[in-house]
Structure 1
């Protein structure tokens, strides 16, 4: 049976997945036709919003790791590790640099920076999903253990029937028991 991923982890995973999907789905040349802003200004505004949301996500991961420190130290460690990877890869700074490149119309640099941000976010997402992967592996191990126990039980029954057959027990009754096994 598969355990449901806890809400705080799912929230963080969904937010990172949304960032990655947003970066993948909205190339730098994309335009929002919502306002009369120039495409460059729209893009700059959108990237600024994403950078701000990512900073809030980092704060949320920190708060979640503190919240889970006592009740689920493994999850807290995973969140801290994801936050650490984000800081090591300087994702927030990369996103701010991406905004500056767009402001200065250095779109070639912005494309490269966007690719780096997407790669960094994908790594963080993979790390956060590893908790779910560990849970699935544990569930799979438990399922296999139950199969092994069932096979061992069947082997014991077969050996018992074999021993009774060799001992001269009623063959018709033994045949029926063996068919039921």
Structure 2
């Protein structure tokens, strides 16, 4: 039995590896551009002042200070006691892998955004800011939430409604000096 072998010329091998290299680079760029957290992180910076100096659109958000990522997704933001002011963008609600949001002891104002898409969110620390209102249905969709701190917020008087029952994993709820007027009202 005779087996035919073909020798690959060096030129053909070079062309093959060059094309393979271009394909890999193209796939990496496509995957990177499809990550929804990139756009969301840029949107978060717009209404905030005093964010870390490396929070710039020209830089990769996964290298930003105070941001923790895993598998290409943002899982934690810790801007506690950072001198941040401004307001929170509703874009926070698009960080679907976020497990921890720490914004306490800053001067962030305006309404709290809805976070209903954040199924992985376990901890929210918002105390000692200048938030003025909590939206109805705030707790809907926060099934993984274990701990929330809303202490020392100048909120308009509000009631804790039945939507908190959506937060089935909630263990710690802090709302001292947050103008909570009633617990578990009908929503």
Normalized against structure 1, the TM-score is what?
Answer: 0.22
The structure that has the greater radius of gyration is: 1
More helix by share: 1
Identify the structure with bigger relative contact order (alpha carbons < 8 Å, sequence gap 6+): 1
More strand by share: 2
